[in-house]
Structure 1
């Protein structure tokens, strides 16, 4: 196996993009070799045919969804032995991420080349992004509470407002409806005292349900000054109202410390605390009409520590302190019948942010704003066509007013094959501190998805993201640029053959300043994901993943010629009626490869972790 992997890795180094063509051909050939057996197919989104996706805020079947959406399920998360949301996104086609390094340590990412501050990350429909820099700390989100993740690629402002590059919608677990008490405890241990301890309880009785989870993630750091010590808690209470309604109360807390980087005498660390609470109500007013309302509150507090050693080994520390809050609410009215899905709603939030530095007397930022957004979406079904016009108007209170329309259309070639077209404008507020921080985009996409080929699911999307007023640094100072990012995204998956299934994802991006301008360095050109999944009748499961990124960036000492291979194994033992044990093992960076765009953020070498889960 190792020799085979090495051969494939060598092929990547010699011919980066063409390898994806070879892999797709092998998948297709393997699927055709099964033609004499019973013809099976994978459904749209590689899931249930009737699966409803809600990343566009107007829940509808995959066959009527014009946007390019990827769905990650709880089973996908379990297969990766993931620690945080960063580990999940690392394996998603279209996401370009720096190596996650020590689990729980801060990292940054791009979505189809869009910077992290152009992507809205939601937890229970509440933004995780900071107000000061629009930074979403995806490494602070533990996976145990996640039921699924929906990634919307491209402008999503017609539904969510501040979402130029897309939306990552984290949908949390619901209470177990089948029993009054159930749960799980798990623990893992790896290199450099890296430990992940978790537990959860869930159940329902007398129309009242609950879900509670908590955990601790700790490590001495797989790299210099990259230690982690974080704790988290999530709770959800659900009460079914008489009739056809429900009340839901949620609270999420994540807090802790992590090292960021070290270069010579300079090191940077941070301590962060995130708190999000929601109270949501839902009621079915009639067979076709549904009302939803929510009140939300969130706090983000943090301290950035910059330490520097002088010639006498004396330490000097400066700090930047962050204190942010959001308080607001939303109303949504949905109409659903045989021919259309209409969604209308309003969002309101009061936001406030304060940033101070130990080096400066005055605050770097001390500002608040009232934000209001009104949106309307209609999906009209006309035979095999589904047409979705949508629009949203935002009064941001700090970055002007914005009207964001979108238009999507799907055509069902068969019950399990669909063509998609989508175009939209959008915006992002990259900072509450600057009135000119608004950046804008026009997104256009055309794609297809099919599960009709025997044993094979395929998906492809052409995209063009034209962004302007992008704030960038130049030798002469701060400038505003027009950036054009266009490319293609391809995915393929097989059904199991000899208990083994194969998946491949490829993203190609060409990024230029304007239409015919120079190439933008640092925007990944090629991204490849390979997955090999095994599961047999004895509940032995394995996942081998390969990840390659051509960062198109050589100025900062980056090295990215290698494929990073990870191996995950687990085996479930059901020796008791209501209790099961599942030992698991992960070998990350199996071949000790190097994959990083900046020498400050080198990836760790090979490391191993092992653990066990107990479900009851």
Structure 2
């Protein structure tokens, strides 16, 4: 038995008391005595490959014990979308909005969870926060999907476990070495209009106690809209070593580099930029005893990027800015399981800096600035399982070098109402650290304000999941987020003066496969108001519909139709258009396969009906375009 298997087995054994009266369809690995096999086969279809989640408490636990509103996306679902980057994947999830979506790998898309600001969403990969310290925005268009095993999303603040994350968490779980063979892999290539291409290679395997996973990706495009060209590439590696059945050492390395055009803007001219990202981690997991585990990880990241603008027509340089952002950090965590308790106690440390060189007026005016953000934290949580109840209290205390310290409590409760239904309730206090651009560094037309405090939120959520209708899964969540100290732009700097309330409902429904076809739909309603003026907050998606139809005979053919419609509460001067639902059509034809050899031809028609769906005419959505390719596994 490998170290990973042993750890997961212990997590499952702790969950047994709850699972015995709970639901297999919500992730429990213990089949209740009252459940017949046919019933279990039906319910398993809704949660295939999603039995345990890590993000809520930073330790694996059954999803039936998770009180937060969590969505899990698997590698299988990502492949069915034929997506290129994480941004495209997230734009299919109810409650999440990614804008703009122009060219695969292009721009730096912003992400919103239940109407939050983009810098309120914390994005994590291999335990490393990949948000910039300059603006605390994550570059989702620079994250290729091939390395992703799963994405776990918490909708709403997760500060009691992760710290600064007022809007939510997007946790990217990367692939691990294939333990079933010594050498295996995949190669794929696709081409589309405007020479848009996506090329991938991965190798994975295990020899004795050593495992490896290696991936390389490249994306190119002349741009689906004017001046949105892309040229990017990345490499990723993960090595594991298990010197003993109770010990696992791991190291990861990720390097990405790219150039891209942002677009043409009448007031700003032509805009483009380049980026260079590096992430490296080294860690160890060790089982101190049957009930106590220790995890230690060190990390280094560097996120450099530049942006430039030039005049339309003449090409004269107007500005050219460069940012260098190294970060050094470490985390340690103890997981203790005894009786009805599963306790996690840990600490985080990060020291991030920024060196910025800013220019204006064609480079005739240049300035250099420096900033540093140091963060330290301790956290603890406990999952208490008793009969049909699961109670999860959590606390965390953060010290920051640029803003005030913060205490983040949370309390989650789940209750197995019946063998088909689970109820959830969650309350949490969260926060978001102002970016170094706002507090220290400044930017074009922005003066730093060193007196900024953290933005705060109290969040309340209740919901349920049920398969009472046997062949239909239904999830419903009511949410309310009361934000105070919201950063508002006043004169030429940010100040803490805003108060917002974002509340609404999420509804998701999914069928089991019938005639090899699965249908799912989601609806999100967000009511965002300024709590001082009682006016509705503009430019937040008020209603969103998501519809997916998937066909897969598991032998030769697969296909899907994915649609999204968003009604934005947009300002009139943005000249947005969102009267159409955008549909993407995907299809694949598989090769005959044997001995793990196989592949498929695939084809995608984007925006099949050539509709328009964008918030602002400065970032329009592309029209209908096509791509196709081949994927071969060995």
TM-score, normalisation: structure 2 = 0.88
- What per-residue deviation string (whole Å, max 9, x for no partner) do you get for residues 566-586 of structure 1? 001012212453421211000
Unaligned runs of 5+ in 2: 1-37, 440-449
Distance 1:100 1:45 in 2: 29
Who is 1:463 aligned against? 479
1:218 corresponds in structure 2 to 220
The 3 A distance-change label for structure 1 pair 401 and 534 is same
Deviation of 1:45 (Å)? 6.6
Q: Assess, with a 3 A threshold, how the Cα gap between structure 1 residues 275 and 49 changes in structure 2: closer, same or farther.
A: closer
Q: Is residue 308 from structure 1 mapped to residue 311 from structure 2 by the alignment?
A: yes
Instruction: Report Cα offsets for 1:174-233 as digits up to 9, x if no partner.
Output: 000000000000000000000000000000011100000001100000001111100001
Q: How big is the shift at 1:430?
A: 3.1
The CA distance in 2 between the partners of 1:160 and 1:439, in whole Å, is 15
Greater RCO (CA < 8 Å, at least 6 residues apart): 1
Contact between 2:96 and 2:112, CA under 8 Å: does it hold in 1?
Answer: yes
Answer with 503-512 or 413-422: which moved more: 413-422
Asked whether the 8 Å contact 2:195–2:222 carries over to 1, the reply is yes
- Cα distance in structure 1, aligned partners of 2:533 and 2:504: 15
Give the match for residue 8 of structure 1.
none
- In structure 2, relative to structure 1, the CA distance for the partners of 1:44 and 1:544 (3 Å cut) is closer
Aligned to 2:6: none
From the superposition, tell whether residues 411 and 43 of structure 1 become closer, same or farther in structure 2 (CA, over 3 Å): farther
1:354 corresponding residue in structure 2: 355
- 1:525 and 2:545 aligned: no
User: Residue 122 of structure 2 aligns to a residue in which SS?
Assistant: strand
- Structure 1 distance, partners of 2:288, 2:45, is 31
What secondary structure, in the 3-state scheme, does the structure 2 residue paired with 1:601 have? coil
Residue 81 of structure 1 is matched in structure 2 by 82
Q: Distance in 2 between matches of 1:291 and 1:283?
A: 5
Q: 1:288 maps to what in 2?
A: 291
Deviates more, 1:578-587 or 1:354-363: 354-363
2:613 is aligned with 1:595: yes
Paired residues of 2:299 and 2:330 also in contact (CA < 8 A): yes
Aligned counterpart in structure 2 of residue 451 of structure 1, from 441, 461, 467: 467
Q: 1:320, CA displacement in angstroms? A: 1.1
C-alpha separation in 2, matches of 1:53 and 1:592: 39
Please say if 1:485 is aligned against 2:486.
no
Query: Does residue 560 of structure 2 align to residue 543 of structure 1?
Result: yes
Query: Secondary structure of the residue that 1:275 maps to in structure 2?
Result: strand
The residue aligned with 1:439 is: 455
Q: Secondary structure at the match of 1:599?
A: coil
Report the counterpart of residue 340 of structure 2 in structure 1: 339
CA contact (8 A) 1:464 1:485 kept: yes
Residues in 2 aligned to 1:599 and 1:70: alpha-carbon distance in whole angstroms: 31
Q: Which residue of 2 aligns with 1:418?
A: 422
Q: CA deviation at 1:59?
A: 2.4
Paired residues in the alignment total 576
Distance 1:508 1:533 in 2: 25
Which among 106, 111, 114 is matched to residue 112 of structure 1?
114
Name the structure 2 match of 1:24.
none
Q: CA deviation at 1:368?
A: 1.6
Q: Is the 8 A contact 2:161 2:394 kept in 1?
A: yes
Q: Name the CA distance, whole Å, in 1 between partners of 2:382 and 2:595.
A: 48
2:21 matched residue in structure 1: none
Aligned counterparts of 1:343 and 1:467: Cα–Cα separation in 2: 28
Which residue is equivalent to 2:302? 299
Q: Which runs of 5+ in 1 are unaligned?
A: 1-37
Question: 2:442 aligns to what?
Answer: none
1:397 is matched with which residue: 401, 406, 430? 401
In 1, the alpha carbon distance for the partners of 2:255 and 2:426 equals: 37
1:543-582 correspondence to structure 2 within 5 Å: 543-553=560-570, 554-582=572-600
| Kept after mapping to 2: 8 A contact 1:55/1:169 | no
Report how far residue 537 of structure 1 moved: 4.7
Q: Which residue of 2 aligns with 1:125?
A: 127
Aligned to 1:30: none
- Alignment root-mean-square deviation, CA: 1.8
Kept in 1: contact 2:359–2:367 (CA 8 A): no
Q: Which residue of 1 aligns with 2:321?
A: 320
Q: 1:383 to 1:576 in 2, by over 3 A?
A: closer
